[in-house]
């Protein structure tokens, strides 16, 4: 099979929307990719992005273990590289199989970030998703060469990287429905004290969806099509890509390497955004199998 599932290729219209969101004029059916956008997006200074990044760096830098984060980030990249083989294997033979293994390296950095108070601090420092915040995030993201190169090394081709960027830039309305736990109104009909921070919900949710995929596909084998398997492989790759971006930002935070404060804010926001959008897409493309999507019944 192709290493890039069909679901990873954003449609021409979506790429046009991406270019428009970033203020880039395109001609006709011109190919819009991360690389072409990086050469044409105008940088904009945003003092709030810089100040938030600096605050996060000051508050969390000493709490994180850079060696642990780097080691587990490399393991996540290795699992991303295994996904073509996972897809080729088709429907799992048991309820805990290859996708469960793929998710495993993500849990250690998740636990470490949880113990360090990382997620709570992000909720306190970063704003909720708005169209303006998402646009600035996408703009900073596409101009961050180091992050683009890291995604290359993790096995994302140009089309896949552009799809991740599109998931950030084109979904501000969907993202706006994910509210930081400290900004949930008091008059909602549930106990807000039990709601984890937004960035924790995104990362933990992505890992749980991946871990549950083996059982879902195994139980519903008669319904599963090749397209559903393609979508599963892509959205898992996208979620792991978002987690990889988050881990890269956390590692930079712990080592004070090369991200500017603006880029740090953008990477933390984008990693979460990709995990949110991709898990919601996985839900509708793979877990909610409608009659129109399912494989034909052998009884007909």
Residue 268 clears pLDDT 50, i.e. is over it: yes
| Mean pLDDT for the stretch of residues 102-110 | 97
Could you report the per-residue pLDDT of 35-93, keeping only the tens digit for each?
Answer: 999 988 887 778 899 999 999 999 999 999 999 999 999 999 999 999 999 999 999 99
Q: Which of 2, 3, 1, 5 is nearest to 235 (CA)?
A: 5
Q: Which of 238, 278, 285, 269 is nearest to 139 (CA)?
A: 269
- Whether the Cβ atoms of residue 106 and residue 207 lie closer than 8 Å to each other: yes
Could you report the per-residue pLDDT of 109-125, keeping only the tens digit for each?
Answer: 999 999 999 999 999 99
- What are the C-alpha distances in Å from 141 to residues 44, 158, 236, 238? 12, 14, 21, 16
Query: If you write DSSP's letter for every residue of 26-58 in order, what string do you get?
Result: --TT----HHHHHTTPPP---HHHHHHHHHHHH
10-19 long-range contacts (CB < 8 A, ≥24 apart) are 10/159, 10/162, 10/163, 10/166, 14/166, 14/170, 15/162, 15/166, 17/166, 17/169, 17/170, 18/138, 18/162, 18/165, 18/166, 18/169, 18/170
Token pair, residue 38, equals 């990086």
pTM for this structure? 0.93
What does the domain layout of the chain look like in residue ranges? Answer: 49-179+195-287
- Whether the Cβ atoms of residue 61 and residue 249 lie closer than 8 Å to each other: no
Could you report the per-residue pLDDT of 123-136, keeping only the tens digit for each?
Answer: 999 999 999 999 99
Q: Which of 239, 266, 242, 240 is nearest to 253 (CA)?
A: 266
């Amino acid at each position: 099979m192709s290493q890039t599932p069909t679901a990873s290729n954003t449609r021409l219209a979506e790429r046009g929307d991406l270019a428009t969101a970033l203020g880039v004029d395109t001609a006709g059916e011109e190919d819009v990719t991360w690389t072409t956008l990086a050469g044409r997006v105008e940088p904009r200074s945003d003092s709030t992005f810089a100040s938030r990044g600096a605050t996060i760096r000051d508050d969390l830098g000493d709490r994180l273990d850079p060696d642990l984060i780097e080691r587990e980030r490399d393991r996540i990249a290795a699992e991303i590289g295994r996904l073509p083989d996972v897809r080729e294997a088709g429907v799992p033979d048991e309820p805990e199989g290859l996708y469960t293994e793929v998710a495993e390296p993500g849990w250690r950095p998740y636990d470490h970030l949880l113990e360090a108070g990382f997620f709570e601090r992000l909720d306190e420092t970063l704003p909720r998703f708005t169209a303006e915040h998402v646009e600035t995030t996408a703009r900073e993201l596409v101009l961050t060469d180091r992050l683009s190169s890291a995604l290359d090394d993790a096995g994302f081709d140009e089309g896949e990287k552009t799809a991740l960027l599109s998931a950030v830039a084109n979904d501000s309305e969907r993202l706006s429905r994910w509210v930081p736990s400290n900004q949930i109104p008091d008059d909602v009909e549930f106990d807000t004290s039990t709601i984890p921070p937004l960035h924790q919900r995104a990362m933990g949710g992505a890992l749980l969806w991946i871990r549950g995929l083996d059982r879902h596909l195994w139980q519903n084998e008669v319904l599963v099509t090749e397209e559903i398997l393609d979508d599963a492989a892509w959205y898992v790759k996208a979620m792991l890509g978002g987690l990889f971006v988050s881990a890269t930002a956390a590692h930079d935070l712990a080592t004070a390497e090369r991200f500017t404060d603006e880029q740090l804010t953008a990477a933390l926001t984008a990693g979460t955004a990709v995990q949110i959008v991709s898990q919601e897409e996985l839900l509708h493309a793979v877990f909610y199998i409608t009659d129109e999507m399912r494989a034909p019944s052998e009884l007909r």
